[in-house]
Amino acid sequence: MPFETLDGRPLDRLSLLYRRGRDFQVVEPFRYREPATGAITRIPAHDVTLPPDPGNSTDFASVPPFLWGLIANYGPQTLPAVMHDAEVAAAMAAPPHERLARRRAADERFRLALIDEGVHLLRARTMWAAVGLESWWRHGGARGRALIAQVALGALTLVAMVPFAVLLSPWWMLVAVAPAALAPLWRRDITLVTAASYLGALYLPLVLGAYAAAHVENAIALVVWLVTGRRGPRPSAEPNPAWRDEYQRERPAPR
């Protein structure tokens, strides 16, 4: 097993402290050993005396709840996700000019760990592409925004290509090579741009469908809430980022 205790035994359990909301904190440190190279990544325990924040907690795989029917936020991906959250926190603590490189390494380690834990190749690549785009968004500045814009445009073009090919001309299918043809502009990130463009086109209809279904369900829940006299909290379609701020306001300040 690639995940081990600090003394080298296979990791068969993970001790976590649940901090309400969606935050967990790792109670005991563990490590990941890359099967191919033997390189070791240590995942530290969190200081559970501190309130949870992005630097000392994990929410497992950061999948919006309305997409849990496609990719769950826990399962075989749990340990890789916990490791990745710890490495993201470490990257954020590094000097700004080092952060993107650290995230690239962490993202690739995340992909390898997913496969080692039994996640199939397509899903591992999809999750890797998602965190890779997030890395560029957070640390890539204007160049990162340009990379993400190219990926988004490529995915939308691939989706639009299908009805155009059906309704206008099959020659529109040649557009399918455009994202791959433009990806070399990004040199070492060619794989990320290519994978994110095609996987984005693959999953976009599924994501939009799940998002719409979540809001339909929320509309029904809102009607029920109104009819029953507004008992309980007002329904809100996921993802709802406000929960974290509300939870933090409710917590006493650390001493």
Model pLDDT for residues 170-228, shown as the tens digit of each residue: 999 999 999 999 999 999 999 999 999 999 999 998 888 888 888 898 899 999 999 99
Residues composing the chain: 255
Nearest of 32, 29, 63 to residue 47 by alpha carbon: 29
Contact 30, 14 (CB under 8 A): yes
The two tokens of residue 32 are 């990941």
For residues 99-118, give the mean pLDDT.
95
**DSSP label of 63:** -
pLDDT at position 243 is 40
Dump pLDDT digits (tens) for 46-78: 887 877 777 778 888 888 777 777 788 888 999
Confidence class of residue 129 from pLDDT cuts 50, 70 and 90? very high
pLDDT at position 229 is 87
The two tokens of residue 118 are 């039994």
Per-residue exposure over 33-68, b if at least 16 CB sit within 10 Å of its own CB, e if not: eeeeeeeebebeebeeeebbeeebbbbbbbbbebbe
Contact 178, 155 (CB under 8 A): no
Confidence class of residue 239 from pLDDT cuts 50, 70 and 90? low
pLDDT above 90 coverage of the chain, percent: 63
pLDDT at position 242 is 41
For residues 109-137, give the mean pLDDT.
95
* Domain coordinates in residue numbering, the chain: 3-250
Nearest of 16, 21, 9 to residue 242 by alpha carbon: 21
- Rounded CA-CA distance 122/232 in Å is 41
What is the average pLDDT value for the chain, to the nearest integer?
87
Confidence class of residue 32 from pLDDT cuts 50, 70 and 90? very high
